[in-house]
Amino acid sequence: MPSKNKTRMTSLGYRSGFEERIASSLEARESPFAYEPGTVKYLIHRYTRFRPDFVLPNGIVIEAKGWFQSADRTKHLRLREEHPQIDLRFVFQNSRQLLSKASKTSYGLWADKYGFKYAHKDIPDEWLTEDSESTRISKDYIKGLGWLP
């Protein structure tokens, strides 16, 4: 029996069916992307590493989230604080999902509150072709990390 901490891979090598669906959607739109191209260090209690789910050629970094745990939220806030050059965006499987049973805040409202761009279920076409100052800064930065050729 696999350890609880080990992530099971799908038959195509993705960590979840949701990531697999996003990759299929990008492929169907003939949009190039990199899946988990590398890591960047960030500090919470100790240095740890962040591995993005998808990196688009224009510099947008996508995190696909089905379940958005408290530790994930903390990680992304800390990551943005330490690496503000990364244009990090979320695609939620359900952006209306509440953070917890006791919360009135949805995943989408959390993203709005902290200034993250997000989408519901799939990457918007606009993100694939967007060319803005934030995407150009992000592209240069993540090229330096080796996430883009």
Residue 92 has pLDDT above 90, yes or no: yes
pLDDT tens digits for range 111-147: 999 999 999 999 999 999 999 999 999 999 999 999 9
Average pLDDT over residues 23-48: 89
Residue 118's CB is within 10 A of a number of other CB atoms, namely 19
Report how far residue 46's alpha carbon sits from residue 35's, in angstroms, rounded to the nearest whole number.
25
Name the band, by pLDDT with cuts 50, 70 and 90, for residue 149: confident
Average pLDDT over residues 7-15: 69
Query: pTM of this prediction?
Result: 0.77
Domains, in order of start, for the chain: 17-145 (3.40.91.30)
**Quick check: helix, strand or coil at residue 144?**
helix
Q: Which bin fits 81, alpha (ψ -120 to 50), beta or left (φ > 0)?
A: alpha
Q: What is the pLDDT of residue 2?
A: 40
